[in-house]
Each structure stands twice: as C-alpha cells, then as structure tokens.
Amino acid sequence: MPIDHAPTEQLSKGEVFEVLRNQRRRFVLQYLKQDDRPVELGDLAQQVAAWEYETTLEGVTPEQRKRVYTTLQQTHLPKMDEAGILVFDSDDGVIESTDRTRDISVYLEIVPGHEFAWRELYLSLGAVSCALVAALWGGVYPFTLIPTLGWTALLALVFTGTAVAHIYHERTMRLGYGNQPPELSYQGEK
C-alpha cells in the first residue's frame, strides 16, 4: 500500500521528466509498481541489474549488482525521494511507494523510436474519410454502389477498432504493466 509522504503540491512535467529521464530510475518505478510494497535496496538492485544487463536474477554478477546498488543508494533513490516519488530510508535500505509513485506513470508512456505512429494513422483515416465523403457527395462511381449508411457504418467500425487497438497497445507500454519494464518488453517484440 503506497504511503503519502509526498508534498501536496504537484510536480511539473519538467520536474518529472528531469527525475525520470534516467532508465535506472524508470526500472525502480517498474519494480515498485509490481508489488506495491516496501522493498529492500539489495533486492531492488539485483532486479534492476538483471534488467540492465539483460540476464536473470541468478545471472547478475556481484560486480554488476554492486555497481547498481551504489548508484541507486547514492544518486537515484535520494533524488526520487527528494521529489516525493518514493520514500527511501537510507539507514535501513528500505524503499516505499508514495501516492506519486502510482500517479507518475501518466508521464511515462514508453515510445521507442521505431514505435508505430498512431497520430499519422488517425490523420490518414481522417483524410480517407474526407475523400470518401467528397466522392459520395459528387456521386462518383463505384462509391455510389454502396449506400451512404453502409459507408458510414464501415468508417465508424474502422475508427472504433483502431481506437480500441490504440488503447490496448498504450496500456501495455506503461510502467508497472507486466513483469518487466516496457522498454525491455518492446525490445523482445522486434
């Protein structure tokens, strides 16, 4: 259960992106969002190292784990704690979620460079719809072979189906969805 140690004022988008522009910090959020319980720094470092080095928990070397542990402890977790995104007790090495941990994911949809451009698809569908309306209005053959209501129903189905696919895809690309960060899940689909 997330605790509310976060300040009441909202972080600006710039502050959120500044804190979370680092992949290791996004991996921290992924781990926290999976179980939504306090976690030990050692366990967190082991999992983050496994994701970073694309190996299993057992495959992480002591050097890799130490490298991640040290930077989490000295840099990343204090910065995230200061922003109220999580609570890091450096004395006992425990990290806890806050209300901001859960709320922050709205800013973190992962959009890899080779991601499908949904806005271009919607623009194309709109252009095709406008052209179809013009063809129907002008009585252009063969478009007049199908009644206007049929074309309208087809367009409504195409737009609705595209929106459903977009929503599903968007949800799978959020932090906390699935067992690993979206960045790694997407790489596996190549």
Query: Do residues 45 and 79 both lie within one domain?
Result: yes
Is 77 domain-assigned? yes
Per-residue pLDDT, 19: 79
Per-residue pLDDT, 64: 96
Average pLDDT, the chain: 83
Tokens of 46: 């082991």
Query: Do residues 123 and 85 both lie within one domain?
Result: no
Question: In total, how many domains does the chain have?
Answer: 2
54, pLDDT greater than 80: yes
Query: Do residues 123 and 168 both lie within one domain?
Result: yes
Query: Do residues 105 and 122 both lie within one domain?
Result: no
User: What is the domain extent for residue 83?
Assistant: 13-110
> Which one of 110, 132, 152 terminates a domain?
110
Ranking 3-17, 30-44, 56-70, 78-92 by mean pLDDT, the lowest is 3-17
Given a contact cutoff of 8 angstroms between Cβ atoms, the answer to whether 76 and 100 are in contact is no
Residue 102: count of CB within 10 angstroms of its CB: 15
Residue range 104-147, pLDDT digits in tens: 766 655 444 456 678 888 999 999 999 999 999 999 999 999 99
Is 8 domain-assigned? no
Per-residue pLDDT, 2: 46
Tokens of 146: 């199908």
Is 5 domain-assigned? no
Distances (CA, A) of 138 to 37, 151, 152: 63, 15, 16
Query: Do residues 134 and 76 both lie within one domain?
Result: no
179, pLDDT greater than 60: yes
> Which one of 59, 89, 110 terminates a domain?
110
Q: What is the pTM of this model?
A: 0.60
Query: Do residues 104 and 123 both lie within one domain?
Result: no
Most confident by average pLDDT, 8-12, 83-87, 100-104, 176-180: 83-87
Query: Do residues 138 and 163 both lie within one domain?
Result: yes
CATH of the domain at 40: 1.10.10.2260
Query: Do residues 129 and 60 both lie within one domain?
Result: no
Dist CA 9 CA 84 (whole Å): 10
190, pLDDT greater than 50: no
